[in-house]
């Protein structure tokens, strides 16, 4: 797939599952690890390109992630789907509303955005608004490419068990999370990625996420220059040990990791 060559800086805001790592109450060696790379907030990335800054997803750790990375500009948020670990932090866009003096641009497919309006953040869209609530401008997209200024954004359709979800490609960067099936036509959009990020929950089979071996099969098929694994659970094992099992161009992502294309 042809993509305009642009510089992209990616910061991993979080690389964990819906419960994060460590998981509450869990006594396993991963959850008790003192290695910072074994501390994983809910999965999200920050993308900086062509003077714009975007996040993919805004889970419950959004505020903590924005503060940790000292983010002072955010031009939009691309949503993969409506599960709480991907949208639960959207209330905290209020600070960006205040300092940027504009609504936050939120991009997602109809089902996801309609659920924000009707359930998750219904108070944002009521007729009589309470002062100080978040301000969102909803942008309805599907799996067709769209543009923000001259930046081409390519959504990639996949399945999260039976739920249709989206990944995104920006320039040579492709981000896929919460999937366990991608049709060949959608994989075409991912070919020639400089960096491919792919979810890999654990080694054992799972109903709605790629396992480590399944993720490696997709990476082998698509042959990106580099691949990073995200949405990693405590069941995967210790970062330093499992990293040694991976091919030389495949890496476990970790919170705070910065890569550039």
Supply the pLDDT for residue 131.
83
Instruction: Kindly report the pTM of this predicted structure.
Output: 0.96
How does pLDDT run across 33-88, given as a tens digit for each residue?
Answer: 999 999 999 999 999 999 999 999 999 999 999 999 999 999 999 999 999 999 99
**Distance, first Cα to last Cα, the chain:** 17
Supply the pLDDT for residue 127.
85
Number of other residues whose CB lies within 10 A of the CB of residue 221: 12
User: Residue 170: inside a domain, yes or no?
Assistant: yes
Supply the pLDDT for residue 5.
77
- On the question of pLDDT at 181 being above 90, the answer is yes
pLDDT bucket at 2, cuts 50 / 70 / 90: low
Supply the pLDDT for residue 130.
84
User: Residue 46: inside a domain, yes or no?
Assistant: yes
Kindly tell me the burial class for residue 87, based on how many C-beta atoms sit within 10 Å of its own C-beta (0-12, 13-18, 19 or more). Answer: buried
Mean pLDDT along residues 207-226: 97
Give the Cα separation of 243 and 134 in Å (integer). 40
- What is the domain count for the chain? 1
User: Residue 3: inside a domain, yes or no?
Assistant: no
User: Residue 72: inside a domain, yes or no?
Assistant: yes
- On the question of pLDDT at 185 being above 60, the answer is yes
Q: How far are the Cα atoms of 75, 253, 258 from residue 99, in angstroms, in the given order?
A: 12, 31, 25
Write out the residue range of the structural domain in which residue 242 sits: 9-260
- What CATH number is associated with residue 36? 3.60.15.10
pLDDT bucket at 1, cuts 50 / 70 / 90: low
């Amino acid at each position: 797939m042809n993509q305009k060559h642009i510089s992209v800086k990616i910061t991993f805001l979080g690389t964990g599952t819906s419960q994060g790592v460590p998981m509450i109450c869990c006594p396993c060696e991963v959850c008790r690890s003192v290695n910072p790379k074994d501390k994983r907030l809910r999965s999200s990335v920050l993308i900086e390109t062509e003077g714009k800054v975007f996040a993919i997803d805004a889970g419950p750790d959004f505020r903590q992630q924005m503060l940790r990375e000292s983010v002072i500009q955010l031009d939009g948020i691309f949503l993969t789907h409506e599960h709480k670990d991907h949208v639960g932090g959207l209330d905290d866009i209020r600070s960006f509303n205040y300092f940027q003096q504009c609504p936050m641009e939120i991009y997602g497919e109809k089902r996801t955005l309609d659920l924000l309006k009707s359930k998750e953040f219904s108070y944002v869209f009521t007729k009589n608004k309470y002062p100080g609530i978040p301000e969102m401008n909803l942008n309805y997209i599907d799996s067709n490419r769209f543009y923000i200024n001259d930046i081409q954004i390519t959504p990639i359709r996949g399945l999260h068990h039976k739920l249709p979800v989206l990944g995104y490609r920006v320039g040579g960067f492709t981000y896929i999370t919460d999937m366990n099936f991608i049709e060949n036509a959608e994989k075409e959009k991912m070919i020639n990625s400089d960096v491919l990020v792919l979810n890999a929950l654990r080694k054992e089979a799972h109903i709605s996420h790629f396992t480590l071996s399944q993720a490696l099969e997709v990476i082998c098929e698509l042959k990106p220059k580099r691949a990073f694994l995200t949405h990693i659970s405590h069941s995967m094992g210790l970062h330093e040990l499992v990293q040694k099992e991976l091919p030389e161009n495949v890496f476990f992502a970790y919170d705070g990791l910065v890569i550039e294309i």
